[in-house]
Structure 1
Amino acid sequence: MADYPKERKFPDFIQLIDMASESVGGKILFATDDFFAPAENLIKSDAPSFKENEYTEFGKWMDGWETRRKRIPGHDWCIIKLGIQGIIRGFDVDISYFTGNYAPRISIQAANLPEDKLQEISERGIRTGTAATPEEFETIAELNSENWNYLVPMEELKPGDPGSSHNYFPVSSQQRWTHIRLNIFPDGGIARLRVYGIGQKDWTATDPKDSLDLVAIAYGGVCVGFSNAHFGHPNNMIGIGSAKSMADGWETARRLDRPPILQNDENGILLVPGCEWAVFRLGHPGVITQIEVDTTHFKGNSPANCKLDGCILTTQEEEDMIKKKWDLPAHKWKLLLPVTKLCPNENHLFDSLTLELQDVITHARLTIAPDGGVSRLRLKGFPSSICLLRPREKSVMRFSALTLRDEGKNRIPDPNWDPHPLLAGISPDN
């Protein structure tokens, strides 16, 4: 997720996951030159910084990728393996602090490569002060990267404020990508490259009997609406691995409608008038059997309680709900977890009511009361073998959980659920 001043206008796609970040497993496979600063800095998860008086034996210390001033034919480029593979919605080429040494032009190419193509590429190690060897050029040539698809043709980079120079490039491709090639023309520096998009799993390779986290961001889960995200975006909850801190979760502001004196009901549930919520589109329609709500790191600001609902929506219905700020009729939601007390700094595991309802869902809504933070949300279950994104012919569609394990009948050959481009809930409803 991007950090940015609230008064500026930014493209919607920066609310999506950075698929190239080191924090999700992104990796630099090759760079033509790393003389002043290594390409690994491009995919750091934190914002770039500047140390005015710091130098290395090779020159000025810079928090980015910076190549030497080229004195031979050609241009510099690097290859990045995405940590999350899927659909790319846009790029942020950040040249912050590179005021007189940024790369004047860039282009970006992409490919969808099988894993066995990468077996011969060795670890790069410490690269500052070096250039790629002839042997490394020979190995990387096997990827034929100069012929990859162009997602961004050659474009000029424009400097802005010294500490905040972002160049945004939207992408309209609906293909799944695993690797990108960043070209700089002819040389220079870039502080960070953010590759924003939505994960996409190869569902054809999934055993229908295996339980999976259907809302995981790596599998295509994405937040499509929320009530408040003052301190942290809900997409953080469905990120990879355990949360590193409170900053790596969803946290709302304190609600101003809290009663002056708080009370519980007879079941120990806090009596408060308001709540906060976040809606997620699953990576694939399915049946949820287990719910994990993790409040780790939220020791003095976890919610008092939560509940989870699910529903089935087509792409058009989702777009309608986005425009209506998710004012969905109550009867559309199916209760998966009733109002349940939460504890601070604890991972909670709950069985879903889905085992009784036997409902396939496409979307889930987590509601917390009255406010607070959640580090991770996992919705484990079984992907449905039926594609639910075609327009409905009936007002209600219900499917037995047995369908998920049926190896024969009624299968529609559309294993990859293509998420539509419209983003939702980007601006918090404070």
Structure 2
Amino acid sequence: MKNPFETLYTDLASRKLGGQAIACSNDFFAEMENLLKLEEPVFQKGVFTERGQLMDGWESRRRRFLPDGTTDDGLEYDWCVIKLGAQGIIRGVNVDTAHFLGNAPQSVSLEACVSEGNPDDNTEWTEIVVRSEVGPGAPHYFTVESEQVWTHVRLNMYPDGGIARLKVYGEVIPDADLFLPGELIDLAYIKNGARPVVCSDMFFSHMENMIMPGRGVNMGDGWETKRRRTIGDAEKDRFNDWLILKLAAKGSIEKVLVDTAHFKGNYPHSFAIEAAVLTDEQAADVAALEADSHQDALMAGRAQPSAVNWQPIMDRTRLYDDREHTFKKEVQNNDQAFTHVRVKMYPDGGISRVRLWGYPSESLAKVTGK
């Protein structure tokens, strides 16, 4: 089954953002930290530890129910508390039981809370995914109907068993109290609320990597496209790859950084950046148009790309391998405020990170919903 949330929302629990499993009822067979691994779960048949078969996930001991209805450990289910890497509105959840076949739980539920520190016995939890049946060896997607901003979640599994991965998809809502009045902020930073909308290609690695925290750790930790082989009519063919990014807030762009860390034989020759003011509805139309072929767009009757008033921020500029490129005096139109940018790279290749520092033209209280 195709993941219905991955391209629309950010995994708020991702380790890349700082997500952390901080407590659980029991992880006898496999550690709770495995739940948030970035890698796809794997199974190493016949590889055993002192606790049994090595499992790539969170797995608790077997719970025994006694004749009087109680259990041997006094609990009816197992739980794991996770600090979200970025607080936000949760839109969907994936509870993946990959490789847990004879040891998957019967059902799961998810609760959420708001807590400045680690949750404790006095924390108020709200159920956002009701107890639902799950099966072995498969992803399970749940839609969340809540407009609350959450900081932590608690995953419950009944009565025991193993879960390979947990993804908590949603919209990042930064804490307005962490910003100073008039502060220059990175409008392209995922933890400030930026989000990629659509791109021409992400064959080798996901577009979201480009706005993640820190520098890329390797060549896979960036946005990389396949090799472009376009030749022909320039009116019909595109000779560059591109990505449309929703900024964290409407604002001006004062300084630009493009990092090609670890991209050596596959960095772009050059790049350019354009910006525009779009509503969410207009951005959705642009994304649908850009994702289609030109002919499909005409048949669908959607507006053409020329309807978007893209303004130059950076003219086409040379890039070099494996380095940070910082630009200030080259930045154009910094007297205007924008909501979206389009990053172009010529002709293709990989970019590790893009930073766009600017001044929000809206108050952070409005941006964050506070």
Shift of the alpha carbon at 1:369? 0.8
Normalising by structure 1, report the TM-score.
Answer: 0.75
Q: Does 1:383 align with 2:335?
A: no
**Structure 2 match to 1:126:** none
**Structure 1 match to 2:195:** 222
**Structure 1 match to 2:173:** 200
**Structure 2 match to 1:93:** 95
SS state of the match for residue 220, structure 2?
A: helix
Task: Report percent identity of matched pairs.
Answer: 39
Give distance in 1, aligned partners of 2:166 and 2:126: 18
Shift of the alpha carbon at 1:317? 2.0
SS state of the match for residue 10, structure 1?
A: coil
Instruction: Give the direction of change, closer, same or farther, for the CA distance of 1:226–1:273 in structure 2 (3 Å limit).
Output: closer
Shift of the alpha carbon at 1:239? 0.7
**Structure 2 match to 1:17:** 10
AA matched with 2:80: C
Q: Aligned Cα RMSD in Å?
A: 2.3
| 8 Å CA contact retained: 1:299, 1:345 | yes
Q: Does 1:67 align with 2:60?
A: yes
Give distance in 1, aligned partners of 2:308 and 2:6: 31
Normalising by structure 2, report the TM-score.
Answer: 0.87
Instruction: Give the direction of change, closer, same or farther, for the CA distance of 1:250–1:352 in structure 2 (3 Å limit).
Output: farther
Shift of the alpha carbon at 1:324? 2.4
* Number of equivalent positions: 345
CA offsets per residue over residues 158-203 of structure 1, 9 Å max, x none? 234xxxx211112232322110010111111111111122321123
Give distance in 2, aligned partners of 1:316 and 1:62: 44
**Structure 1 match to 2:276:** 311
SS state of the match for residue 122, structure 2?
A: helix
**Structure 2 match to 1:172:** 145
AA matched with 2:198: G
Give distance in 2, aligned partners of 1:222 and 1:9: 20
Q: Does 1:281 align with 2:256?
A: no
**Structure 1 match to 2:318:** 341
AA matched with 1:46: E
Shift of the alpha carbon at 1:20? 1.4
| 8 Å CA contact retained: 2:313, 2:333 | no
SS state of the match for residue 247, structure 1?
A: coil
Shift of the alpha carbon at 1:21? 2.5
AA matched with 2:263: F
AA matched with 1:64: G
- 5+ residue gaps in structure 1? 1-7, 122-139, 260-271, 388-412, 419-430
AA matched with 2:288: K
Q: Does 1:250 align with 2:220?
A: no
Give distance in 1, aligned partners of 2:7 and 2:313: 30
Instruction: Give the direction of change, closer, same or farther, for the CA distance of 1:417–1:328 in structure 2 (3 Å limit).
Output: farther
Instruction: Give the direction of change, closer, same or farther, for the CA distance of 1:18–1:352 in structure 2 (3 Å limit).
Output: farther
Shift of the alpha carbon at 1:79? 0.6
| Higher strand proportion | 2
Give distance in 1, aligned partners of 2:349 and 2:55: 38
**Structure 1 match to 2:368:** 416
Q: Which runs of 4+ in 1 moved over 6 A?
A: none
SS state of the match for residue 246, structure 1?
A: coil
**Structure 1 match to 2:26:** 33
**Structure 1 match to 2:123:** 143
**Structure 2 match to 1:399:** none
Between 376-385 and 98-107, the greater mean CA deviation after superposition: 376-385
| 8 Å CA contact retained: 2:188, 2:211 | yes
